[in-house]
Structure 1
Amino acid sequence: MNKAELIDQIADASGLSKADSKKALDAFISATTGELKKGGRISLVGFGSFAVSERSARKGRNPKTGKEINIPAKKVVKFKAGADLADSVN
């Protein structure tokens, strides 16, 4: 499912117009991004939680040449599914 299809699903389920559904989705994405940039955590009970995790620097290997390379440390976003979501998928 892409963003346009998600907007259609939101509009159908909520009774909102597609334009309002797009605004709501964009607002959710913006709020989530802003909180994660600050290092915060987003918890949606039953659905899951988004959090920022630090990945430390490490050594890797270039698969093409076999040469050892340094991979710098970085922050990554992690999502952990909630119990309700996990149960509905299984």
Structure 2
Amino acid sequence: MIKSELVQKIADENPHLYQRDVERIVTTIFDTIINAMAEGNRVELRGFGAFSVKKRDARQGRNPRTGESVAVEEKHVPFFKAGKLLRDRLNES
């Protein structure tokens, strides 16, 4: 599902809301999560999961085409851990 499909589904399930308002709400939620993670904070949505930032140290990598060593800089990457409710729903028989 992409963002526009999410907006459409929410708008269809809530006919009292305008689609442009639903789009603004979804965008605000995503922007808030992104901004919190950019500040190094953890974002937890109960039942769904938790978003956090993990630090990857600098290391020596390898160029797969030439085989030569290259220096890979330290970086921060997003990490998602699914919540119990989400895991349980995915594993239902």
**CA–CA distance in 1 between the matches of 2:54 and 2:48?**
19
Runs of 4+ residues over 2 Å off in structure 1: 12-17
Alignment CA distance shift 1:14-1:82 (3 Å): farther
Q: Give 3-state SS (helix, strand or coil) of 1:4's partner.
A: helix
Q: Where does structure 1 lack aligned partners over 5 or more consecutive residues?
A: none
Q: Give 3-state SS (helix, strand or coil) of 1:9's partner.
A: helix
TM-score (norm 1): 0.93
Q: Deviations over 1:4-41 (max 9, x none)?
A: 11111121234432111101111001111111111001
Mapping of residues 8-87 of structure 1, within 5 Å: 8-15=8-15, 16-87=17-88
TM-score (norm 2): 0.90
**CA–CA distance in 1 between the matches of 2:51 and 2:9?**
22
Q: Give 3-state SS (helix, strand or coil) of 1:12's partner.
A: helix
Identity %: 39
Aligned residues: 90
